[in-house]
Every structure is written in structure tokens, then in C-alpha cells.
């Protein structure tokens, strides 16, 4: 039985700024305060104000020096993602113009304790143009602080204290000299212009690969073992998101993305003895809308199937019959654009992990849970449980190995599906979720698919992955032009 979460009292965040900045507040801080007040999770008066009496008080600082005089209060420290102090003037300009997005971390120091412990982190991708990206900063900070306030109300504990080099640099300005701001802005302009030209002139081509080793052995290595890349379809499109057909040793399911229509569909592929794909069957799933990310798993004595149907804003669970027919079993989500949904069971409850496209296409992990497959399904108390463009979106089905649960995830920085991250699940409850990255796999820059990978699944004694290559394609460019002009293929 799941107990109801406690009634939350709004947290009063009291900003403590350096004396040199207290008189002239930066515009991004003023907007952040307004956004926080609008959520109702926090009372966040501007520095110098006495509003918010009666709420839980937390001193919020941007550097360790500002927190020095508040040993008797609970303090939060807002820093860049690597722990260094967040400059008030042009914050994160080097990271943004360097193509690393907005990375933030929030730390807590308990009353009368010297050590800082991590509360939450956030990492989102933004344009490399700082004039555009800095508009997202107040929203990112407000999002991080709001969720930290929810965690506080739910009683979620902080992580272990920072130690070593991290503790030494925590909340302190960067020791490296910043480039002139004009050069940084030019760097961001160059990166953004290059990205726009790549999107216009190049197309992504994905390909299915097979590793002749079990998944547990694959994740035990720091680098991927050799990959056998399967042949590509002759159509104008590609296969991606491979998952094993548990009923056959030589069949798998995959998404076929049709460049002509811009839609994906699920196909069942047969891999012959020579390693070539010698048969394909279109699965009648999705009702004509875009479908992707097939998932097949055995759970409670039943073979179940799940696909992404975010375009229909629903997530339907299927039971796979002995004949191979996918029969709708129940609707897990309705009214949610859930990308890359994955079902798993943890400590007697059923869980659905997915990315909510309405909150971001590649930077968030959300959870739903239920006592039974048929429901009732309810959201995690603090969705999204993770906001990280480098390791939130699903990259395959969750799997058990040596008694521990692992979650393959995508690194979508700098582009969608750039690399894979294997996360180990540490805690998963209706109010708390924690995981740690144990392995990061990057594509071989000299290989057939040097530009990305975003799927990792078991296939018996083998492992399935996919890889990305960006190529110039006159036919794809013509299709993009027709689409922009409103012509149908």
C-alpha cells in the first residue's frame, strides 16, 4: 500500500547575495523569483524583503562566502553543474556558447554543519546563441528550485557530502580566465549557424548492430566490443530501436523510419544465418501515426509489448499471443506525449519510465506507478525525477544483472542520440528516485556509425544496439524542401 505524501508547506527561499550585488539585482534573478512565486511551491521574496513569514526558511546563496554568516540556518547553494560559483553577470556564458547547454546544481548545508551535500541537478540543452539561451536561465533555475522544494516537503534526504577536489571548488569562482565576451558570443553564433546548416543539408541514417556477447558482459567493459552492422533497407529510410523477439532467436522488432512520410512504423525482421536481414513484416500498430521504440518483455508469466505512440498522446500495453499477434491489453497513459516508454517491476509495483515531450524532447525522465498492470496508474510525486539532457531519455529496456536493475539512457548533447549511458537504479519509490551512471558508451569516430547511438538491448547471448551516421542526401534534401513548402510526398 502506498501512503499519501505529507501535506507540503511552501518553502521560503531567502536570497543572500554579495553586498556588491544586493543593490542592483540582475534581471534573470528577478524573473526567477516571479516564476517561483507563480508555482506556489515556494515563497521567494526578493533580497531585502520580509515577505513569506510562516513558511519554512532556507537561505539561498550563489557562493560559499555569502553563506558564511548563516551557520544556524539551513542553506542552499546554487552553482554551475560542475560545482563552481554561478556568476551574477552573464551566468553560464562559457558553457552555453561552448555548446554544453545550461547545467546547474543545488547543494544543502544543514544547520551548524560545514559540509555541502547535493540536492538536485539540472542539465538542459539550449541554443548556443547566448542572447537566446539566457532567456531560458530563469526557467531552468525556477524548475530546479521548485523540485527541490517539493523534495524537501516529501522528506527526500540529500546525497553524501562533497569531498576532495569537488569540495575545494564548490561555490567558488572559476580559476580559469574567461575569454572576452565578444569572442564568446561569436563562438556561440558560429556553433548555432553550423548546427542550422547541418540540419538543413544533412540527414540522419541509423543502422542496427549486433554484439556477439551478452548484455551483462557488454556493460562490464569500458568500451563497446566489436559491432557487426546489419544491412540497411533499400527503401528511403532506416531501421532503428531494435529489440529482440523473445519467441525467436533470429527475429527482432525495430522501427522503420520512412523519410518520404516522416513517420515511423514497427517491423518484425528476420536475420538469416549469414547475418543479413532476409525478411520483414509490418506490424499493424499505431493507427497510422508515428510509432517507434518497440519493447518486448516477459512479466508475470505473460509476454508483453509496448511501443511509443506519443503522436497519439497515449501509451497502450499489448499482450503478445503465441501466434505473434499484439493484442491490446490496457491503456497505461492517456493524454500524455510519452516518448520511449519502458515498463518494469520494482519491489512489487509496476513502473513506467518515459520522457514527457511537453516538458522537453530529450532532457527529462518521468515515472508512473501502479499496483497492477491494469492500474490505477499515478505519477511520481515529483515528476520529472531527472532533468539531464546527457542521461535522462530512455535508451532501451531496463534489465536486471547480478541482482541489480540497470537503465540504458541516451546522451542527447549535442544532438539527439549522441551516445549511451548505463544507469544503475539505486532507489525507486513513489516519492524518491535515484540512480548513478556506471558506464558511458560513445560511438567509434572511425566506424560505420560515428555520429551516435541510442539503443541497447539484450538478444539472448548477443546484444543489440543501433548507430547513427549523418550523410548528405540530395533525395532527403528534396523531401525536406517539399515538406517546408507544404507539398505531400
Q: Is 345 helix (H, G, I), strand (E, B) or coil?
A: strand
Is the previous residue joined to 384 through a cis bond, with omega within 30 degrees of 0?
A: yes
Q: Looking up cell 538536485, which residue turns up? A: 120
- pTM recorded for the entire structure: 0.91
- Given a cut of 70, whether residue 376 has pLDDT beyond it is yes
Summarised one tens digit per residue, pLDDT across range 256-280 is 999 888 899 999 999 998 889 999 9
Q: How far apart are CA 235 and CA 277, in angstroms?
A: 14
For the record, the C-alpha cell of 438 comes out as 556506471
Q: Which of 401, 355, 426 is nearest to 215 (CA)?
A: 401
Consecutive H or E run containing 379: strand 378-379
CA end-to-end span of the chain, whole Å?
A: 53
User: pLDDT tens digits for 11-54?
Assistant: 677 777 665 555 567 888 888 888 887 766 566 655 545 444 44
Rounded to whole angstroms, how far apart are CA atoms 421 and 295?
18
**Residues 60-81: pLDDT tens digits?**
888 888 777 776 678 899 999 9
Please report, rounded to a whole number, the percentage of residues in the chain having pLDDT higher than 90.
69
Average pLDDT over residues 349-373: 97
pLDDT tens-digit map of 192-236: 999 998 888 888 999 999 999 999 999 999 999 999 999 999 888
Answer yes or no: is pLDDT of 5 > 50.
Answer: no
Residue with cell 553563506: 67
Q: Name the more confident of 434 and 66.
A: 434
| Alpha carbon 319 to its chain's center | 28
Task: Kindly report, residue by residue over 288-347, the tens digit of the pLDDT.
Answer: 999 999 999 999 999 999 999 999 999 999 999 999 999 999 999 999 999 999 999 999
pLDDT of residue 1: 44
Query: d(Cα 428, Cα 258) in Å, to the nearest integer?
Result: 37
The answer to whether 127 and 133 are in contact (CB under 8 A) is yes
Q: From the CA atom positions of the chain, what is the Rg in Å?
A: 24
The predicted pLDDT at position 476 comes to 62
Query: Are the beta carbons of 315 and 341 closer than 8 angstroms?
Result: yes
Q: Tell me whether strands 102-109 and 75-80 are parallel, antiparallel or unpaired.
A: antiparallel
- Eight-state DSSP code of residue 135: G
CB 394 within 8 A of CB 343: no
- Between the CA of residue 208 and those of 177, 463, 465, what are the distances in Å? 44, 11, 6
Domains of the chain are 11-178 (3.40.50), 203-484 (2.115.10.20)
Q: How confident is the model at residue 485 (pLDDT cuts 50, 70, 90)?
A: low
* Residue 414 near residue 430, CB atoms below 8 Å: no
Q: Would you say residue 8 has pLDDT above 50? A: no
Q: φ and ψ at 332, to 5 degrees?
A: -85, -40
E strands, 168-320, are: 202-211, 228-229, 237-244, 251-258, 263-271, 277-282, 292-299, 302-308, 314-320
Amino acid at each position: 500500500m502506498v501512503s499519501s505524501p505529507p501535506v507540503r508547506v511552501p518553502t521560503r527561499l531567502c536570497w543572500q547575495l554579495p553586498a556588491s550585488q544586493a543593490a542592483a539585482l540582475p534581471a534573470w534573478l528577478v524573473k526567477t523569483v516571479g516564476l517561483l512565486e507563480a508555482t506556489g511551491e515556494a515563497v521567494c521574496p526578493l533580497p531585502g524583503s520580509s515577505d513569506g513569514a510562516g513558511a519554512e526558511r532556507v537561505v539561498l546563496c550563489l557562493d560559499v562566502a555569502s553563506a558564511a554568516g548563516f551557520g544556524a540556518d539551513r542553506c542552499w547553494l546554487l552553482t554551475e553543474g560542475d560545482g563552481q560559483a554561478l556568476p551574477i553577470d552573464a551566468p553560464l556564458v562559457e558553457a552555453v556558447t561552448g555548446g554544453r547547454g545550461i547545467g546547474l546544481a543545488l547543494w544543502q548545508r544543514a544547520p551548524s554543519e560545514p559540509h555541502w551535500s547535493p540536492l538536485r541537478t539540472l542539465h538542459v540543452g539550449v541554443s548556443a546563441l547566448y542572447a537566446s539561451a539566457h532567456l531560458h536561465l530563469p526557467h531552468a533555475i525556477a524548475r530546479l528550485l521548485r523540485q527541490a522544494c517539493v523534495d524537501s516537503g516529501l522528506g527526500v534526504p540529500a546525497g553524501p557530502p562533497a569531498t576532495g577536489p569537488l569540495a575545494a571548488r564548490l561555490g567558488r569562482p572559476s580559476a580559469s580566465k574567461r575569454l572576452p565576451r565578444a569572442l564568446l558570443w561569436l563562438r556561440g553564433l558560429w556553433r548555432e549557424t553550423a548546427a542550422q546548416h547541418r540540419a538543413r543539408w544533412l540527414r540522419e541514417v541509423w543502422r542496427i548492430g549486433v554484439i556477439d556477447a551478452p548484455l551483462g558482459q557488454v556493460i562490464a567493459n569500458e568500451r563497446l566490443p566489436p559491432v557487426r552492422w546489419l544491412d540497411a533497407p533499400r527503401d528511403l529510410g532506416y531501421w532503428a530501436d531494435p529489440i529482440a523477439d523473445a519467441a525467436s532467436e533470429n527475429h527482432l522488432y525495430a522501427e522503420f523510419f520512412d523519410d518520404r512520410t516522416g513517420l515511423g512504423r514497427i517491423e518484425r525482421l528476420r536475420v538469416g544465418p549469414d547475418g543479413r536481414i532476409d525478411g520483414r513484416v509490418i506490424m499493424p500498430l499505431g493507427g497510422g501515426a508515428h510509432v517507434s521504440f518497440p519493447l518486448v518483455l516477459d512479466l508475470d508469466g505473460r509476454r508483453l509489448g509496448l511501443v511509443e505512440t506519443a503522436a497519439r498522446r497515449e501509451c497502450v500495453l499489448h499482450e503478445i499471443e503465441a501466434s505473434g499477434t499484439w493484442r491490446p491489453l490496457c491503456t497505461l497513459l492517456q493524454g500524455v506525449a510519452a516518448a520511449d516508454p519502458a515498463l518494469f517491476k520494482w519491489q512489487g509495483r509496476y513502473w513506467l519510465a518515459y520522457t514527457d515531450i511537453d516538458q522537453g524532447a530529450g532532457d527529462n525522465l518521468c515515472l508512473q506507478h501502479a499496483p497492477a498492470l491494469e492500474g490505477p496508474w499515478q505519477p511520481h510525486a515529483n515528476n520529472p525525477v531527472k532533468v539531464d539532457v546527457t542521461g535522462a531519455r530512455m535508451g532501451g529496456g531496463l534489465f536486471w544483472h547480478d541482482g541489480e536493475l540497470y537503465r540504458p539512457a541516451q546522451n542527447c548533447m549535442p544532438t539527439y542520440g549522441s551516445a549511451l549511458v548505463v544507469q544503475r537504479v539505486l532507489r525507486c519509490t513513489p516519492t524518491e528516485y535515484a540512480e548513478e551512471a556506471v558506464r558511458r558508451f560513445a560511438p567509434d569516430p572511425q566506424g560505420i556509425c560515428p555520429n551516435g547511438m541510442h539503443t541497447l538491448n539484450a538478444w539472448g547471448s548477443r546484444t543489440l544496439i543501433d548507430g547513427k551516421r549523418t550523410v548528405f542526401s540530395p533525395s532527403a534534401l528534396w523531401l525536406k524542401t517539399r515538406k517546408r513548402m507544404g507539398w505531400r510526398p
